[in-house]
Amino acid sequence: MIGAKTFTEQYVLSAILADRVAAAGAPVRVVPSLGSTVAFDALRDGTLDCYVDYSGTIWATIMHRTDVPSDRAAVLTEMTQFLRDRAGVTVVAALGFENAYALVMRDDRARAAGVRRISDLVARAPQLTIASDYEFFSRPEWRALSAAYGLHFAAQRSMDPSLMYQAVAAGDVDVASAFSTDGRIAAFDLRVLDDDRGAIPPYDAIVLASARLVRDEPRVVAALTTLAGAIDAETMRRMNAAVDQDARSPEDVAREFLARRDAAGAR
pLDDT in tens, 8-58: 999 999 999 999 999 999 999 999 999 999 999 999 999 999 999 999 999
Q: Are residues 50 and 13 in the same domain?
A: yes
Its pTM surpasses 0.85:
yes
Looking at the structure, tell me whether residues 13 and 28 fall in a common domain.
yes
The domain containing residue 162 runs over which residues? 101-192
Give mean pLDDT in consecutive 10-residue pieces for the chain, a chain of 267 residues: 95 98 96 95 97 95 87 93 97 96 96 96 97 91 93 95 91 96 92 94 96 97 97 96 95 97 74
3-state secondary structure the chain: CEECCCCHHHHHHHHHHHHHHHHCCCCCCEECCCCHHHHHHHHHCCCCCEEEEEHHHHHHHHCCCCCCCCCHHHHHHHHHHHHHHHHCCEEEEEEEEECCEEEEEEHHHHHHHCCCEHHHHCCCHHHCEEEECCCHHHCHHHHHHHHHHCCCCCEEEECCHHHHHHHHHHCCCCEEEEECCCCHHHHCCEEECECCCCCCCCCEEEEEECHHHHHHCHHHHHHHHCCCCCCCHHHHHHHHHHHHCCCCCHHHHHHHHHHHHHHHHHC
Model confidence pLDDT, tens digit, residues 181-194: 999 998 999 999 99
- 118: domain CATH number is 3.40.190.120
- Same structural domain for residues 112 and 90? no
78 and 133, same structural domain? no
Choose the final residue of a domain: 192, 214, 244: 192
